[in-house]
Amino acid sequence: MSKSLKRVMQALGAAGLDITPLELGPETRTAQQAADAAGCALDQIAKSVIFCGETSGRAILFVTAGGNQVDAAKASALAGEPLGKADAALIRSQTGFAIGGVAPIGHLHPIRAFFDPRLREFDVIFAAAGTPRHIFPINPQVLIRISDAQPADFT
């Protein structure tokens, strides 16, 4: 088991949750592929999109529904600073995850997080569990709580 997957499972356990991540096929790098593999709607996939604050140099997380795109202007306004593309090295060093497997919890360092309200329309959503092949089911309200994410309109 990868270190990243272990961190996510530890974060779930620390929150008092008994959730077992699902292992999907090798081709689940896109939200649509993950939805197809999980047998759920595209918008039930909670994508973790990381931007880099251009002033702070910090990674900022936007958890969005699978079919939505982050609007850069809205996201920058929420973050209170211009946002740029986060490269693989920044994502790995600040979250501990590789691109394609960034989870909304279990980061190496605390991270500011924003949450797409569209995800709250479902009883269960699926988020990356630290690898491109693992996701975990969770109630969106619970994910908001354990990720300390702020619900906000950024799509």
- What is the per-residue pLDDT across 31-85, written as a single tens digit (0 to 9) for each? 999 999 999 999 999 999 999 999 999 999 999 999 999 999 999 999 999 999 9
Q: What is the pLDDT of residue 68?
A: 98
Query: Whose CA is closest to 141, among 154, 127, 128, 122?
Result: 122
Domains of the chain (ranges; CATH) run 3-151 (3.90.960.10)
Cα separation of 27 and 66, whole Å? 16
Q: Which helix (H) or strand (E) holds 150?
A: strand 150-151
